[in-house]
Amino acid sequence: MFLGIDIGSSSTEAALISEDGKLLAVAVRNAGTGSRAYEEVVRDVLSEAGTTMDDVRYTVVTGYGRTLYKEADRQITEITCHAKGVRYLMGRVSTIVDIGGQDSKVIKLDEDGNVKNFLMNEKCAAGTGRFLEVMTRVLGCSLEDLSDMADRSTRFIPINNVCTVFAESEVISRLATGEAPEDVARGAHVAVAKRVMGMCSRVGYSPKVVMTGGVALNSNMVDALSQELGLPVEVPPHCQAVGAIGAAVAAMETYKKIMGEES
Amino acid sequence: MYRDTIEKMAFNGLNPGKAIEETKASTGKDLVGVFPIRTPEEIVYAAGCVPVGMWGGRTELSLADRYLQSFCCSIMRTNLEYALRGVYNDVKAVIIPSFCDSMKCVIENWKLALPQIPTIALAYPQQRRLQAGLEFTVSEIKRVKHELELALHKIITNEQVEEAFSVYENYRKAMREFTTLAADHPDIITAKKRYLIMKAGSYMDKAVYTDMIREINEGLKEEAPSTFKGIRAIVTGIMVEPAEILDIFEENGIALVGDDLAIGSRLWRTPSRDEVEDVYLKMAYIIYDIEGDTFFFDPDKKKGSMLISMKDELKADCVIVMMIKFCDPEEYDYPIYKAELEEAGIPHLYLEVDEQMTGFEQHRTRIQSFSEMIL
């Protein structure tokens, strides 16, 4: 069996695949770098698959906290792992949009699923899950409810500030002038989508576009991005764990390559 | 033996303060600060002084904020910060070219804030290839000489300028040879060593520095052909800072086999004209002949084609763009050569940096992903 672990900034995932490449188990915990969540997700996937670490031939760790997990056989970036994970789950894909808690990435793939080019957002939180998280605080809702709230919007309210801190002030001003929270929520989704659209334009994008990461669970965000790109945006199964699944695939590929070279 | 010299040079590049102290102690010469990008250092050297490159550094910015906004580049802000804190109290004058808006402001700020350190402004002509432009460059170099004479209270003779020019010609020739040899031995001259060796030249007496470079060159000539299996990269930009970025390059098997850096090859890749006799005209012709340098008006926009040629000649795998945050001139060039690199199918990595940055995880991911993409 092959184990992949993705230690992100705000969540941790693990995936286990069998010798013949079947996905056996996936686990997600909403705690990231700095926590011991990686121990929990590993325990979860092993338990779900009814196995132990003794049966794991190779482990690859990825994500923001990848360099801190020393038990892995290899560490690979989440960009490479998302490419492998999407290829595994969705077949031929041209563009991946991964909106994570800490940063956003646009990954362009070649026909074989290899990374052809990529772009990460700069340090600021605009265009990341963090932006939406800040908005929930102002709008007085949970992250899970934000999408539903935006779905009820009847009027478009633009959020023009790119900076998350200033955007928070702008949202407060909008609410203070009587704008509906639902419309402001939709405006926040569109603001993130516009930011990501800018990144897509810089790196180049074409169908099929797939969105990964925890923010892909937010259907309003997927819709907003789809409208900005003018293309359908698909969401793979286990969208939050695509990095971990890609890491497990990388573990299998690396192990087979090593054994092939040695035999 | 030459490997010790490599280590010594790399140390100097990493520790400018100590390198400058040692230079001052060993030569007994006065120091004159020279701002980036291309200051006529020969004039300073002719005056019996050591020109010290002012490339900023990593420090907390507070005093400089009184004069420069946060959207000015970290090199200009740090230079002003250091000066206001007294780090440059030893320099007898500073020469500041007016390549960008920030530099123009710094010239005036410096005069106001640091009247005890004479400021010598320098303007290169936009139309450097007109006869008038050539003459203007000569007149600017002579004006700098005159103002330096007043600041140092000494006459600089034409003979001294000629001798200094000869020292600098030897330096430029040695550096051209070094960069060629370094590209053949990326296992010995790693990304970090290559950069720091080049940078060390900004803090040492050029005659001493040139001798050390020649020693390294001779040592490299004796080495067996390299077996380097990593990524051969061309780097473009002003400089590669902070040094942690170079560590991340090396961790990911990236060597810098060619450069288009303001602190590197842009300083020495343009040869002088043998047929020109007058030393001031020789210096002006180097400016006249510069190609593909962000800071010199280039209507043909040759940087992209030069990077592509460099990539082919050096059998490089990719180009790395080191963009100092808020450097307008470099940012203006980028979209043009980015399109050319993409057209040529050359992978390139864009890294925006500033000298004050302390967190490198995002850059680590970018660099590692780029490495994984190429290998």
**Interface check B127 vs A, CB under 8 A:** no
**Burial of A142 from C-beta contacts in 10 A (0-12 / 13-18 / 19+):** exposed
What letter represents residue B217's amino acid?
N
In a domain, B63, yes or no: yes
Domain boundaries, position B141? 25-159
Mind listing the pLDDT tens digit for each residue in A76-134? 999 999 999 999 999 999 999 998 877 889 999 999 999 999 999 876 667 788 888 88
Say yes or no for a CB contact (<8 Å) between A115 and B369: yes
Contact B365 A120 (CB under 8 A): yes
Q: What is the DSSP letter of A246?
A: H
**Min Cα separation B369/chain A (Å):** 6
Radius of gyration for chain A, computed over Cα atoms and rounded to the nearest angstrom: 19
Residue spans of alpha helices (H) in B229-302? 243-251, 279-289
Helix B191-200 and helix B158-184, axial crossing angle in degrees, nearest 10: 180
> Considering the domain boundaries, does residue B10 fall inside one?
no
Comparing C-alpha atoms, which of B149, B144, B140, B199 is closest to residue B175?
B199
Q: Hey, what are A81's tokens?
A: 């792992």
Q: Which residue of B has its CA nearest to A108?
A: B373
Average pLDDT over residues B343-370: 94
Mean pLDDT of A43-52: 96
Those residues with Cβ within 8 angstroms of residue A157's Cβ, 6 or more apart along the chain or in another chain = A174, A179, A183, A184, A186, A187
Between chains, do B372 and A79 touch, taking CB under 8 Å as contact?
Answer: yes
Q: Is A52 on the interface with B (CB under 8 A)?
A: no
Q: Chain A within 8 Å of B352 (Cβ-Cβ)?
A: yes
Which DSSP category does B222 fall into?
A: T
The answer to whether residue B131 sits within a structural domain is yes
pLDDT the model gives residue B359: 86
| Burial (CB count <10 Å: 0-12, 13-18, 19+), residue A22 | exposed
Interchain proximity B352–A122, CB inside 8 Å? yes
Give the Cα separation of B107 and B120 in Å (integer). Answer: 8
Tell me how far apart the alpha carbons of residues B333 and B340 are, in angstroms, rounded to a whole number.
Answer: 11
Distance from C-alpha of A119 to C-alpha of A96, rounded to nearest angstrom: 11
Does residue A166 carry a pLDDT above 90? no
Residue B1 CA: distances (Å) to CA of A61, A82, B305: 42, 48, 39
Position B44, amino acid:
V
What's the confidence (pLDDT) of residue A129?
Answer: 81
Q: Are the beta carbons of A80 and B366 separated by less than 8 Å?
A: no
Tell me: the pLDDT tens digits for B181-240?
999 999 999 999 999 999 999 999 999 999 999 999 999 999 999 999 999 999 999 999
Please choose, from the candidates B307, B317, B310, B308, the residue with its C-alpha nearest in 3D space to the C-alpha of residue B230. Answer: B317
Can you give the pLDDT at residue A262?
A: 62
Name the average pLDDT for chain A: 91
Q: Which residues touch B345 (CB under 8 Å, ≥6 apart)?
A: none
The total of other beta-carbon atoms located within 10 Å of residue A9's CB is: 19
- The verdict on residue B120 lying in a domain is yes
Distance from CA of B351 to the nearest CA of A (A): 10
B260 in a domain, yes or no?
Answer: no
What's the pLDDT tens digit per position in A216-235?
999 999 999 999 999 999 99
pLDDT of A123 reads 60
Q: B365 CA to chain A: closest CA distance, Å? A: 6
CA-CA distance, B342 to B348, in Å (whole number)? 8
- What whole-number distance in Å separates Cα of residue B105 and Cα of residue B299? 26
Residue A9 has pLDDT above 90, yes or no: no
Q: ipTM score here?
A: 0.84
Bridge partners of residue A15, in order along the sequence:
A4, A26
Instruction: Please give the CATH topology (third level) of the domain spanning A2-87+240-262.
Output: Nucleotidyltransferase; domain 5 (3.30.420)
pLDDT single digits (tens) B307-329: 999 999 999 999 999 999 999 99
What is the phi/psi pair of residue A75, to 5°?
Answer: -120, 135
Rounded to two decimals, what is the model's pTM? 0.91
**Stretch (H or E) spanning B94:** strand B91-97
CA-to-CA distance for A121 and A99, rounded, in angstroms? 10
Would you call A29 an interface residue with chain B, using a CB distance cutoff of 8 Å? no
- The answer as to whether B305 is a domain residue is no
Question: Which CATH number do you get for residue B84?
Answer: 3.40.50.11890
Backbone φ and ψ of A12, nearest 5°: -130, 140
What region, left, alpha or beta, does residue B299 occupy, with left being phi > 0 and alpha being psi -120 to 50 degrees?
Answer: alpha
Helix (H) or strand (E) holding A211: strand A209-212
Class (C level, CATH) for A92-236 = alpha beta
Q: Write the pLDDT tens digit of every residue in A177-215.
A: 889 999 999 999 998 899 899 999 999 999 999 999 989
Cα–Cα dist B254/A152, whole Å? 51
pLDDT at position B1 over 90: no
- Element housing B208 (H / E): helix B206-221
List the single residue in B with minimal CA-CA distance to A68: B361
For residue B307, how many other CB atoms are within 10 A of its CB? 25
User: Virtual CA dihedral for B199, B200, B203, B207, nearest 10 degrees?
Assistant: -120
Report the C-alpha gap between B177 and B7 in whole angstroms: 19
In a domain, B245, yes or no: no
Residue among B158, B324, B341 nearest B241 (CA): B324
- The Cβ of residue A52 has, within 10 Å, a number of other Cβ atoms equal to 10
Whether A116 contacts chain B with CB within 8 A = yes
State whether residue B35 is helix, strand or coil.
Answer: coil
Report the pLDDT value the prediction gives residue A263, as an integer from 0 to 100.
55
Q: How much is the average pLDDT of A34-60? A: 95
Cβ–Cβ under 8 Å, residues A41 and A28: yes
Residue B107 lies in a domain: yes
Domain boundaries of chain A, sorted by first residue = 2-87+240-262, 92-236
Across the interface, whether the CB atoms of A67 and B366 are under 8 A apart is answered no
Average pLDDT score over residue span B277-303: 96
Nearest CA to CA, how far is A77 from chain B (Å)? 6
Q: How far is A138 from chain B (nearest CA, A)?
A: 28
Q: How far is A251 from chain B (nearest CA, A)?
A: 14
Give the model's confidence band at B358: pLDDT under 50 very low, under 70 low, under 90 confident, else very high. confident
Give per-residue pLDDT as tens, A232-246.
Answer: 999 999 999 999 999
| Interface probe, candidates A33, A60, A79, A81, chain B, greatest B C-beta count within 10 A | A79
Name the 3-class secondary structure at B319: strand
**Beta carbons of A39 and A31 less than 8 angstroms apart:** no
Spatial distance between the Cα atoms of A36 and A77, rounded to a whole number of angstroms: 20
Q: How many CB pairs under 8 A join A and B?
A: 32
The domain total for chain B is 1
